[in-house]
Amino acid sequence: MIPAPVRYARATSLEHAFQLLAEPDSKILAGGQSLIPVMKLRIARPSLVVDISQLELRGIDVRGDELHVGALTTWDELLDARELERPALAAIGECVRGIGDLQVRNRGTVGGSLAHADPASDMPAVLLALGATLQLRSPEGERDLRVAEFFAGPFTTALSAQELITHIVVPLPAPGSGSAYVSVEHPASGFALAGAAALVGRDGVSRVAVTGVAGQPSLLVSGDPHEALEAAEIFGDRFASAEYRRELASVLVRRAVERAAERTKGDA
């Protein structure tokens, strides 16, 4: 459980990070909570880790009708953010409170979690339900990608070799909205066996997404959740069969929608 020999460099600017990431087997290091374990298992064997933790990509602020979250914002910083106290964004805090332990929440970043694209990770479902967009930067320039288009499969994203997530942008839901995240955790790992996020507005359900049940980190559930989950490709493993996960996801969707609807009453 010791990583293979690896070189380390700390990026002092985005441009510096791009220069360092030009090395073919280099890898970005943010909080290290996912990368270091896979390096210890030698699943990942980068020749160079590029530490981006000192870049100015941290912080949470509301700009106009959008919430901007820097990719290096830690789970703990999200929990402390007053901007997230509104019922329409309650799903974010609800999700973060269930992630890992104190150390993971202190070091782990939201950008690192999205880039790692673990199919059992919690936040992708929340950001999908909230209709978030990711801002990406590479030497070629900047581009925006909706969360729905970012995940390509388990541990696979649309990021290109030298590309970084810089910000997560959440459109502020209309007044009178509520959101919620509900999950059942795997008792050993604490990751979601299944999780569901919902955004409900004055006119009814806006979007629902689930995690932990499909090959990719999040799956949009449109229309009748039972029918949508029946039609979706759900995976099973030694911990829970596909049939069990489908049923569990369906129950969690119902609970998330109910809780989000309840919260609409608290959003002026």
Ligand X SMILES: Cc1cc2nc3c(=O)[nH]c(=O)nc-3n(C[C@H](O)[C@H](O)[C@H](O)COP(=O)(O)OP(=O)(O)OC[C@H]3O[C@@H](n4cnc5c(N)ncnc54)[C@H](O)[C@@H]3O)c2cc1C
Taking Cα atoms as reference points, which of 60, 59, 263 lies closest to residue 173? 263
Nearest to 147 by CA among 117, 127, 164, 161: 127
Q: Is the dihedral of CA 37, 42, 43, 49 positive or negative?
A: positive
- Give min distance, CB of 40 to ligand X, in A: 11
Distance CA 257, CA 199 (A): 7
Least spacing, CB of residue 201 vs ligand X, in Å? 26
Residues 110-129 that bind ligand X (CB under 6 A): 111-113, 115-116, 121-123
Q: Rule CB under 6 A: is residue 190 a binding residue for ligand X?
A: yes
Residue 104 contacts ligand X per CB under 6 A: yes
Q: Looking only at residues 63 through 92 of this chain, which bind ligand X when binding is defined by CB under 6 A? A: 71
Q: Is 32 left (phi over 0), alpha (psi -120 to 50) or beta?
A: left
| Half-sphere exposure of residue 266: CA atoms within 13 angstroms, side-chain side | 14
33 makes contact with ligand X (CB under 6 A): yes
Question: How many residues make contact with ligand X (CB under 6 A)?
Answer: 31
Query: Which residue stretch of 94-102, 170-178, 237-245, 256-264 sits at the interface with ligand X (rule: CB under 6 A)?
Result: 94-102
Residues that bind ligand X (CB under 6 A): 27-35, 37, 71, 98-100, 104, 107-109, 111-113, 115-116, 121-123, 159, 164-165, 190-191
